[in-house]
Amino acid sequence: MRAVCTQPYDEAMEHTAITTPATPHVTDVMFGYCGVLIDWRPRRTIEGLYPAGVVDMFFDPADLHSVAYYDDLADLGWSEERIIADYEREHGPAVAWIMRLYFEFQRLGFYDMIDGMPTLMRDLHARGVRLWGLTNFTVRGVREMHGKYPWLNLLGGTVISAHEGVAKPDPRIYDIAIGRFHLNPAQTLFVDDNACNVLAARAAGLQAVRFESAAQIRALTLD
């Protein structure tokens, strides 16, 4: 089970973390995927296939065994078939097919790249900044994202939670990325849309900010 963020998040930290870096410049930038590089809209996977009420039920945050619960398990390496079987046990065979379609049409949920990020990645790469990914997602999902958006192939590598069996904000996944990509944490900027993930990255020694826009990251790395 993934680690839980227990520290309060100070909004002011977002704007001060990188203003006085420990080193003269950032040599590496490591991005989260969904909410940073990719505009992930999961409802698009099944909208039009079921009535709106059924879609609402599938994504109901009050359901302890909603799709969000199973997304977390997928991020930790559960197979699609195992998730479908468990969803059927919890909700019954009459509605279990919806989970199968959710996986089958997951590519439709990758709506687009976040505005400005392809150009930012290109400019960072041209400047010689090394680019990496660190994502809570499945291996197949990441492969499909790269197939749909070739700009992602500027990343020198990606640590995928489902492959590692551990997910952000667990400290172990940051250590995996630091070791695998031979990062100097003090010269590496980690960018994520989740406050808990940012706090955990800072605890691992990385410079880290909560993502707001491509312009924000450009100002921290290129301007």
* DSSP letters spanning the chain: ------S---TTHHHHTTTS-SSSS--EEEE-SBTTTEEE-GGGGTBTTB-HHHHHHHT-TT-TTSHHHHHHHHHTT--HHHHHHHHHHHH-TTTTHHHHHHHHTGGGGEEEEPTTHHHHHHHHHHHT-EEEEEESS-HHHHHHHHHH-GGGGGSS-EEEHHHHT--TTSHHHHHHHHHHTT--GGGEEEEES-HHHHHHHHHTT-EEEE---HHHHHHHHT-
Taking the mean position of all CA atoms in its chain, how far away is CA 15? 21
- For the 28-39+112-220 domain, the top CATH level (class) is alpha beta
Ranges of each domain in the chain: 28-39+112-220, 42-110
**Nearest residue to 105 (alpha-carbon basis) of 69, 67, 73, 136:** 67
> Is 50 exceeded by the pLDDT of residue 2?
no
pLDDT average, residue stretch 166-179:
98
CA geometry: angle 12, 16, 19, nearest 5 deg: 160
Question: Which comes out higher in pLDDT, residue 131 or 8?
Answer: 131
pLDDT in tens, 92-130: 988 899 999 999 999 999 999 999 999 999 999 999 999
- 22 pLDDT more than 50: no
Please tell me the predicted confidence (pLDDT) of residue 126. 98
Question: What's the CA gap between 181 and 179, in Å, rounded?
Answer: 6
Q: Look at residue 5 in the predicted model and tell me its pLDDT.
A: 59
Q: Quick one: pLDDT at residue 129?
A: 97
pTM, to two decimals: 0.89
Residue range 7-18: average pLDDT? Answer: 47
**pLDDT: which is higher, 1 or 132:** 132
